């Protein structure tokens, strides 16, 4: 089974062009499934629908949410579809198994005021703190994913035009505009602080950490959490909160859904539509808070 999984992962990398994070998730899910079959002395060819259902029960007993169980099942569906297409199997045991129902959870966002508070934390005379704020300005200004932000290269930035070239999921490229504040602080970072952090070490990356390497996702997550705490923001703030806030604030300001979809790099507009629910909730909250007849 290990060889089949390895071949499938190669297929996802080469043929599907999935991102590194997606590949890690697929590999982990498939490894879990393989361990379950091995512990129960079940070969791949003998796994039927009953086995798949037992595996889902096993995931539930491990405490996985319906969302996580659905992701695992989607992974296994793709795996079996691949095995059938490659003539390793003739029957798909997952075909008639329904995906666990997932309640739509709305992502957490910050208010415009909270974003301002977050972006005003830090001593801009210190090179690394200027870098951190520039990264958050870009994150909020362009609605990037963390992986897209940390792997930006100097050649991807056109500050005169106010545009970024972003490599998104599945190696899909998109062009995203950034605002005046993001442009100004990024230019300051490139011109003054970045050379001090690099110390004559060459690097293609826009935002550099040690030895000219890109910052890790975990390191940026910690910086964001720390700055949110220093800003006095009580809610749980992660880098992705800035991306959610970017989309919601655009829609609240009157941007059309298709434009926001393009800027976020969503392949399906239904993914972007969740932000319309947030905007409606926000409007209701503001109405209840400020309307004199409430």
Write out the catalytic residue numbers: 145, 169, 240, 243, 266, 275
Q: Is 251 exposed, middle or buried (0-12, 13-18, 19+ CB in 10 A)?
A: buried
> For tokens 């690099």, what's the residue?
198
Beta strands in 139-229 (DSSP E): 157-158, 163-167, 173-177
Q: Yes or no: say if 238 and 220 are a contact pair by the CB < 8 Å rule.
A: no
Cα 44 vs. chain centroid, distance in angstroms? Answer: 32
Strand intervals (E) in the chain:
157-158, 163-167, 173-177
Alpha-carbon distance 27 to 75, whole Å? 9
Per DSSP, 78 falls in state H
Say which residue the tokens 């994070």 belong to: 21
Tokens linked to 11? 């297929």
User: In this structure, are residues 44 and 89 in contact, taking their beta carbons and an 8 Å threshold?
Assistant: yes
* Residue 139 near residue 147, CB atoms below 8 Å: no
Percent helix, strand, coil in the chain (nearest 5)? Answer: 65, 5, 30
> How far is it, in rounded angstroms, from Cα 257 to Cα 270?
10
Kindly write down the DSSP assignment for every residue of 122-153, as one continuous string: S-TTSHHHHHHHHHHHHHHHHT--HHHHHT-B
CA angle 137, 138, 144 (to 5 degrees): 130
Q: For the purposes of burial, counting CB atoms within 10 Å of the CB of 29, is it exposed (0-12), middle (13-18) or buried (19 or more)? A: buried
């Amino acid at each position: 089974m290990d060889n089949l999984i390895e071949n499938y992962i190669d297929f996802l990398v080469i043929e599907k062009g999935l991102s590194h994070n997606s590949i890690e998730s697929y590999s982990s899910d498939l490894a879990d499934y393989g361990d379950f079959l091995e512990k129960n002395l079940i070969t791949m060819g003998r796994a039927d629908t009953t086995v798949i259902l037992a595996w889902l029960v096993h995931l539930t007993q491990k405490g996985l949410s319906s969302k996580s169980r659905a992701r695992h099942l989607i992974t296994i569906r793709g795996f079996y579809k691949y095995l059938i297409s490659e003539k390793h199997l003739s029957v798909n045991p997952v075909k008639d198994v329904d995906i666990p129902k997932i309640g739509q959870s709305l992502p957490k966002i910050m208010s415009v005021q909270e974003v301002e508070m977050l972006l005003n934390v830090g001593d801009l005379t210190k090179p690394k703190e200027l870098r951190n704020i520039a990264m958050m300005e870009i994150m909020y200004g362009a609605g990037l994913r963390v992986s897209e932000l940390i792997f930006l290269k100097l050649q991807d930035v056109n500050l005169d035009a106010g545009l970024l070239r972003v490599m998104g999921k599945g190696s899909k490229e998109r062009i995203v505009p950034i605002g005046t504040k993001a442009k100004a602080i990024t230019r300051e970072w490139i011109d003054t602080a970045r050379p001090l952090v690099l110390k004559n070490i060459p690097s293609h990356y826009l935002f550099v950490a040690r030895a000219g390497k890109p910052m890790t996702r975990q390191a940026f997550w910690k910086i964001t959490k720390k700055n949110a705490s220093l800003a006095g923001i009580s809610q749980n703030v992660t880098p992705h909160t800035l991306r959610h806030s970017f989309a919601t604030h655009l829609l609240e300001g009157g941007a059309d859904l298709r434009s926001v979809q393009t800027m976020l790099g969503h392949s399906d507009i239904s993914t972007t539509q969740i932000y319309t629910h947030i905007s409606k909730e926000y409007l209701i909250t503001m109405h209840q808070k400020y309307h004199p007849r409430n």
